[in-house]
Amino acid sequence: MSADVSTRNTVLHVLDGLFFCAALVVLSYQVTIPQMITELKDSDLLLGLVPFILSVGTLLPQLFHAKAVEGLAHKKGRVLLCAALQRVGWLVFFASLFLHWGSPFTLIVFFVVLAVNSLGSGMIMPVWSDWFAKTAPERIWGKILGIRWMTSGVLGITLGHFFIGRVMAAFPSPQRYQIITGVAIVFYALSFLTLLPVHEEPAEGLPNHSGTRWTEYFKGLAWILFRRRDFRRFMLAALLFDLPIMTVAAFLAKYGLTYPDVGAEVAGTFTLFFFGASAVGAFVGGSLSDRLGPIAPFRVFPLFTVGAAAVAWSSRDPFTVSVAFSLLGMAFGARIAALFPAVFRYAGRERRPSYTAVSHVVLTLGAAVVPPVIGALLEGGVLDYRGMFVVCGVLSAAGWALFFAVPEPRAT
């Protein structure tokens, strides 16, 4: 690519990330969605069902879609198709909020839409990641991913404090969620539009799996995970880093709402702290990845999850919970910016979709199982919130220690 095309693609990727992540901030799975579910039906099991559906919906499609897209010389058309599937369900949910508000109708529509959204997310992950690696300069992969999330995180500060909190305080349900969903849809549409002008040059010499049997293809995926020792060790450490983030994020907002005299507007404060801190974590994590190597961020940021769990365990008021959200946001942002560059370098240009699929299946499989189990244990009184925070802190510490035994990635 020429310098001008490379610069234009970089700007478009940043804008795509800005608008897409802004939609995620507004319709946040960490704050806004748990708040809505709690209003409709106070159930830890339903809260745990959100990461379960997100995980399962992105689990299997990646494995099957990676085989189909790995040999494509152009991947932009498939990216646009999957992106549309990712977004269209929220229009249905938005319309349903004007038809009826209440349990079980709203919950049923939401979870069906969530499933469709997750399917699109699963299909887009392996093809978008390869497309991004092709169309963005390799020397600044981490920085671009970090800036994508950092800009949206800064916007999240504004949205969390001046928009979400005020909407929650000023409007009753369902009007508050009509406004929030409508704004998220606008951001999703802007994100889609920024994908259209990205220039992609054809890739030659990629493996074509059209004649490969599914059994042989899956044996190849199994080799990536189980026979390649350095990548297997990286994925185990990444799982120990990722699971506590997903688990604490799923329940921390509800935990913060248990304090007396706390209203729904506190969701805006939690959003402010979480996404504001994630902006910093993403930029620092991405910069560390480019400057010191892809493993460097993983030797720092699991400690922030340990800190988040410790602060949440000792919290006595909503402000302390906000501090825990900040630490969790730092880890979350760094994970977003640092994971792809590491996986890309393990894979090489020929196998990026397959390695992306394998890595996300491993991470989402854990997130599909653990949060719903934690939710059932919380609801059944077997485990309390403070006990959950202890477990998550221990897992994060184990992941942090294991990353020191992970070598810098290289393609084979």
| CATH number of residue 162's parent domain | 1.20.1250.20
Q: What's the pLDDT at 369?
A: 77
Give me 406's structure tokens: 């992970």
DSSP state string for 164-201: IHHHHHH--TTHHHHHHHHHHHHHHHHHHHHHTT---P
Give me 272's structure tokens: 């402010």
Q: What's the pLDDT at 265?
A: 55
Q: What's the pLDDT at 264?
A: 56
Nearest to 268 by CA among 187, 174, 170, 388: 170
The model's pTM is: 0.79
Angle between helices 302-314 and 318-347 (to 10 degrees): 160
Residue 198 lies in a domain: no
Helix, coil or strand: residue 57: helix
| pLDDT tens for each residue of 329-353 | 999 999 989 999 999 999 888 889 9
Burial of 85 (0-12, 13-18, 19+ CB in 10 A): middle
Beta carbons within 8 Å of 130's beta carbon, 6+ residues apart: 69, 70, 75, 352, 353, 356
Nearest to 90 by CA among 53, 64, 60, 115: 115
Q: Say how far apart CA 392 and CA 315 lie, in whole Å.
A: 16
Q: What's the pLDDT at 314?
A: 86
> Which domain range does residue 307 map to?
3-193+212-403
Cα dist from 31 to 4, 39, 47, 71, 249, whole Å: 40, 12, 11, 39, 8
Q: What's the pLDDT at 100?
A: 92
Q: Which residues in 257-271 are b (16+ Cβ under 10 Å) and which e?
A: beeeeeebebbbbbb
Contact present, 219 and 63 (Cβ < 8 Å): no
Q: Residue 1: what residue type?
A: M
C-alpha R_g of the chain: 20
Q: What's the pLDDT at 257?
A: 57
Helix, coil or strand: residue 335: helix
Residue 163 lies in a domain: yes
Show pLDDT as tens, one digit a residue, over the chain (412 residues).
Answer: 788 888 999 999 999 988 998 888 888 887 788 889 988 988 888 888 887 788 777 777 888 888 888 888 889 999 999 999 999 999 999 999 999 998 899 999 999 999 999 899 889 989 999 999 999 998 899 999 998 888 876 776 677 667 887 888 889 999 999 999 999 999 999 999 999 999 998 877 777 777 788 889 889 889 998 989 999 999 999 999 998 888 887 777 676 655 555 555 556 677 678 878 888 899 999 999 999 999 999 999 999 999 999 998 888 777 788 888 889 999 999 998 999 999 999 988 888 999 998 998 888 777 767 877 888 888 888 888 888 889 889 999 999 999 999 988 876 6
Upstream peptide bond of 104 is cis (omega within 30 degrees of 0): yes
Q: Helices in 201-228 by DSSP H: which ranges?
A: 214-222
Contact present, 236 and 405 (Cβ < 8 Å): no
Look over the chain and give the mean of its residue pLDDT values, rounded to a whole number. 86
Q: What's the pLDDT at 286?
A: 92
Residue 207 lies in a domain: no
Beta carbons within 8 Å of 177's beta carbon, 6+ residues apart: 36, 97
Residue 410 lies in a domain: no
Residue 395 lies in a domain: yes
Give me 270's structure tokens: 């939690």
- How many domains does the chain fold into? 1
